Amino acid sequence: MQITSKLPEVGLTIFTTMSKMAIEYQAINLGQGFPDFNTDPKLQAFVSKAMAEGFNQYPYMAGVAELRNVIGEKVESLYGRHYNIDSEITVTSGATEAIMAIVLASVGTGDEVIVLEPCYDCYLPAIKLAGAKAVCIPMLVPTQERRTFQVDWDKVKSKVTTKTRMLIINFPHNPTGAVMSKDDLDQLELLVQNTNIMILSDEVYEHIIFDGVSHLSVATRPALAERSFVVSSFGKTTHTTGWKIGYVCAPKDMTVELRKVHQFMVFTVPSVLQHGLAAYTKDPSTYLDLPAFYQKKRDRLADGLAKTRFNVLPSPGTFFLLADYSAISDVSEAEFSIWLTKEHGVTVIPVSAFYAVPDAAESNHKIVRFCFAKTEETLDRAIERLLKI
C-alpha cells in the first residue's frame, strides 16, 4: 500500500547508517554518539532495587515525583532558577521525544522556526511534521584565527520575521562542541525581547564542558527562561543512551501544552529507570565529575590525532571533536567517512549530514566528527589505525 510520505526526504539517520557500516566492516565506531563502557554499578543497583520493590506500573504521566524533585534541585543549584516540580518539569522519553512534543505542541502552519546549522538531525523533521517552516542559518565556520564554529547573530537577526515563532539552539553543540558564551546569551536576549519568539534550548551536553568553563543555561536569564523550553537528557549524563530518559523545564503555560502532546505520544516513561535515576542523581558528584572524566578522553583523542595528518579543532564541550582532513583528501565528507570505515577501519560522521542541504556552500568544509565517549583502549586502537594514513 502506497503512503504519501510526510517526510519524503528522510531516510535512515546518518548515525544508524554509519553504525551499520561500522559493524559490516568491523571498524572502530567513533561515529554515533554513545559510550562503549558500562554505566555505574551503583545506578544499576538502584534500578534493580526499584524493580524488586515493585515500581513496575505506570508512573505519573509527567514523571516520578522523586525524579522531578532531583531535577528541580539540580537546576536551581546550578542555574539559579526555581521550576515548580508539579507544573514546570516533565520527564520525557529522551530529549528526542521532548523535542518532537515541544515542536508539535507549539508551532504550526504559517510559523517559522529558526535553526542553526550544522544542526542535530531531529529538529527539521519535527518542524516539518508540525507544518511549520524551518529557516536554516549557517554558523560561522572556523578560520585560522577563530578555531570554533560560532553563531552569526547578525544573520539570525536578519532572518527574524513576524512569522518567527521559535528559535532552536543547542549548546554545548553537537557536532561542533561550541559552547554558549555570555555574549551569545546577551545577543539572544536582545534578539527575542519584545517578540513572541519561544526558545527551544537543547542542553543535553550541559554537564560535558571543559577547561574549567561552566555551562551557561538559558535558565540563568529570567528574560530567556520565561519563553524557553530547556531540554536535557540523562542518557549523556549517566552513560545510558539506550534508556531514553530526558526532561523539559519550562514555564507553566508552556508545560501545559507540552504535556498534552507528551501524554499521547508516550503517556509516560519507564518507572524503574526514573526511580533509579532519582536515587542516583541525588549525589551531585554523578554529574559534577563528568567534565574531568570526559576531558581526559578528549585530550587523549586530540593528542593522538595531532600525530596524524588530521587537523584537530578545539572541542570546548560535548563528547565529540572535529578534525579537518584536507591534508589527506579532497573528497566530500560523506565519501571520506565511508572510505575511512572501509579502508582504515575507523568510523566517523560527516559534518555535512548536519545541514538541510548537505552539499550547500555553507557546508563546503572538509571536517568529520569523532566521538570520544570510549574507553582509552578503543581510542588508542583507533589512533593506531589513523596514524597509518
Residue 233 near which of ligand PMP, ligand GLN, none (CB within 5-8 Å, type-dependent)? ligand PMP
> How many Cα atoms sit within 13 Å of 270 on the Cβ side?
13
Choices 54-62, 88-96, 133-141, 193-201; region in contact with ligand PMP by CB under 6 A: 88-96
Choices 18-26, 241-249, 257-265, 281-289; region in contact with ligand PMP by CB under 6 A: 241-249
Closer CB to ligand GLN, residue 33 or residue 316?
A: 33
Query: What is the greatest pairwise CA distance in the chain?
Result: 58
Phi-psi region for residue 284, left (φ > 0), alpha (ψ -120 to 50) or beta? alpha
d(CA 289, CA 130): 38
Closest CA to 188 of 176, 175, 197: 197
Which H helix or E strand runs over 185? Answer: helix 182-192
Residue 202 near which of ligand PMP, ligand GLN, none (CB within 5-8 Å, type-dependent)? ligand PMP
Q: At what angle do helices 271-281 and 65-79 cross, to 10 degrees?
A: 40
Q: How far is the CB of 236 from ligand GLN (least distance, A)?
A: 8
Residue 172 near which of ligand PMP, ligand GLN, none (CB within 5-8 Å, type-dependent)? none
Q: How far is the CB of 204 from ligand PMP (least distance, A)?
A: 5
DSSP alpha helix (H) spans, 207-289: 222-225, 234-237, 252-265, 271-281, 285-288
d(CA 85, CA 64): 10
Closer CB to ligand GLN, residue 12 or residue 387?
A: 12
Closer CB to ligand GLN, residue 13 or residue 44?
A: 13
Amino acid identity at 295 = Q
d(CA 14, CA 19): 8
Closer CB to ligand PMP, residue 204 or residue 258?
A: 204
Q: How far is the CB of 95 from ligand PMP (least distance, A)?
A: 3
One residue of 31, 59, 94, 142 binding ligand PMP per CB under 6 A = 94
- What's the Cα-to-Cα distance from 104 to each of 92, 126, 130, 227, 265, rounded to whole Å? 14, 7, 5, 16, 11
Q: Which residues contact 231 (CB under 8 A, 6 or more apart)?
A: 95, 98, 99, 102, 200, 201, 202, 203, 204, 246, 247, 248
Neighbour count for residue 241 (Cβ, 10 Å)? 17
Q: How far is the CB of 12 from ligand PMP (least distance, A)?
A: 16
One residue of 55, 79, 120, 229 binding ligand PMP per CB under 6 A = 120
Residue 95 near which of ligand PMP, ligand GLN, none (CB within 5-8 Å, type-dependent)? ligand PMP
One residue of 33, 59, 270, 345 binding ligand PMP per CB under 6 A = 33
Q: Could you give the 3-state DSSP secondary structure of residue 68? A: helix
Our finding on whether 341 is near ligand GLN (CB under 6 A) is no
> What residues numbered 142-171 form the site for ligand PMP, per CB under 6 A?
170
One residue of 95, 136, 179, 277 binding ligand PMP per CB under 6 A = 95
One residue of 17, 29, 32, 337 binding ligand GLN per CB under 6 A = 32
One residue of 150, 174, 255, 271 binding ligand GLN per CB under 6 A = 174
**Residues in contact with ligand PMP, total (CB under 6 A)?**
14
Q: How far is CA 177 from the centre of its chain?
A: 10
Q: How far is the CB of 34 from ligand GLN (least distance, A)?
A: 7
Q: How far is the CB of 330 from ligand PMP (least distance, A)?
A: 29
Shortest-Cβ-distance residue relative to ligand GLN? 33
Q: Which residues contact 284 (CB under 8 A, 6 or more apart)?
A: 74, 77
Q: How far is the CB of 244 from ligand PMP (least distance, A)?
A: 6
Which residues in this chain contact ligand PMP in the complex, by CB under 6 A?
33, 94-96, 120, 170, 174, 202, 204, 233, 235, 241, 244, 246
